[in-house]
Amino acid sequence: MSTAELQIQIFQHLKTKLPQDKSVVDELATILDVSTDSAYRRIRGEKLLTIDELHKLAIHFQLSVDQLFGIQSDGFLFAGKFLSHLNFQFDAYLASILFQMKYINTFKEKKIYWLCKDIPPLYHFHSREIAAYKHYVWMKGIVDAPEFARKKFSLKDYPDEFFESGRKSMELYSKINSVEIWNFESINSTIRQIDFYHDMNAFEDENEVILIYEALENLMLHLDRQAALGYKFIAEDGEKVAGGTYEMYLNEIIIGDNSILAVLDGTKAGFIIHTVMNIMMTRDIRFCQNLYESMQNVMRKSTLISSVSERERSRFFKHFHNRIKIKKEKIKASL
């Protein structure tokens, strides 16, 4: 294959990475800082890309040179940033999630597969209480922010702008067709986090522990109803305002690892959440296909509890309602 033919194939591949409403010519002209005519000449293979231009394309589209040239290797290219208490800004973290949700919603056909080791963070923003508490847990226990070292939890300290940014992401997620694979640990982990900091006397007001548990109960009721209907909705809008389709699976064997796969107009993007909050993303074709096949395998070995299997769905949610009820009664008795 000639260099020009290989270059044409590269642009055909890059075209699949763009939403349908974006022009590969305009995108190329912007990235390489050339005219649209010059961009056309490169796409047609009439003008060869320089090494510098190839580097710019690889960086912009987050692709390895192996991928661009179709070279098979055992390496996979991921993009992401590591969180550190030295430079971490929670508002920037939320903004990055909002950016991804907006990007995914630019595609005509979009579907997200989520292997839920924990409650997906976007659901935290159905409730200010849960969002505030998770922010505290992350900043104190994960980011290890110095200002949280001796800080106790209080709802009044949670910034409104954090909740509003998270709500926007949650609302965008509600529009996307989704498959979520849950297990009992998905929710148990949050209950243990509440217990841990309660036992550590980390709440300024113990009544707020009850408020958080009640918010968690309401979230369980919302997810239960969402699963029964088979579509997402925002509680404040009412269930008649249907969002994306919702498939909820229960797997009692596999705990999961918070892997996410987005299928966008036939292309795939994989997201790996590691060390609780860090996110890596890849468009590597082989990796994403393997992730897709793994998700399908887990789904086959799970029980679909949305739209059908009312008994199994009831058993799943009843387990947590009973646990939360006992926790609340114990706290109330100690007040």
DSSP letter for 148, please: G
**CA distance readout (Å), 61 to 35, 79, 125, 267:** 20, 10, 30, 13
Query: Contact 321/216 with Cβ under 8 angstroms?
Result: no
Specify the pairing of strand 110-115 against strand 177-182.
parallel
Eight-state DSSP code of residue 73: -
Q: What is the pLDDT along the chain (335 residues), one digit of tens a residue?
A: 577 777 777 777 777 777 767 788 888 888 898 898 888 888 888 888 888 888 888 777 766 666 555 555 566 666 667 777 677 889 999 998 999 999 999 999 999 999 999 999 999 999 999 999 999 999 999 889 999 999 999 999 999 999 999 999 999 999 999 999 999 999 999 999 999 999 999 999 999 999 999 999 999 999 999 999 999 999 888 888 899 999 999 999 887 788 999 999 988 999 988 776 778 888 888 889 999 999 999 999 999 999 999 999 999 999 999 999 999 999 999 88
**Which value, to the nearest 10 degrees, does the dihedral of the CA atoms of residues 144, 149, 153, 159 take?**
-60
Residue 71: its pLDDT value, please?
A: 54
Residue recorded with tokens 């110095």: 146
Strand pairing report for 110-115 and 79-80: unpaired
| 5, 16, 62, 225, 329 from 179: Cα distances, Å | 39, 23, 25, 15, 34
For the chain, domains (ranges, CATH) are 3-69 (1.10.260), 79-334 (no CATH)
- Quick one: pLDDT at residue 87? 76
Euclidean distance between CA atoms 324 and 215, whole angstroms: 10
In whole angstroms, give the CA distance from residue 189 to residue 195. 10
What is the per-residue burial (b if ≥16 Cβ within 10 Å, else e) of 292-319?
A: eeebeebbeebebbbbebeeebeebbee
Using N-to-C axis directions, what is the helix angle for 160-173 and 90-104, rounded to 10°?
A: 20
Prediction pTM value: 0.78
- CA distances to 85, 95, 144, 156, 218 from 147, rounded to whole Å, are 10, 22, 9, 16, 31
State the amino acid at position 100 in one-letter form.
Answer: Q
In this structure, the dihedral spanned by the alpha carbons of residues 5, 8, 9 and 12, taken in order and rounded to 10 degrees, is -160
Q: Looking at this protein, which amino acid is placed at residue 107?
A: F
Q: Interior CA angle at 261 toward 316 and 92, to 5°?
A: 95
- Write the single-letter amino acid at 318: K
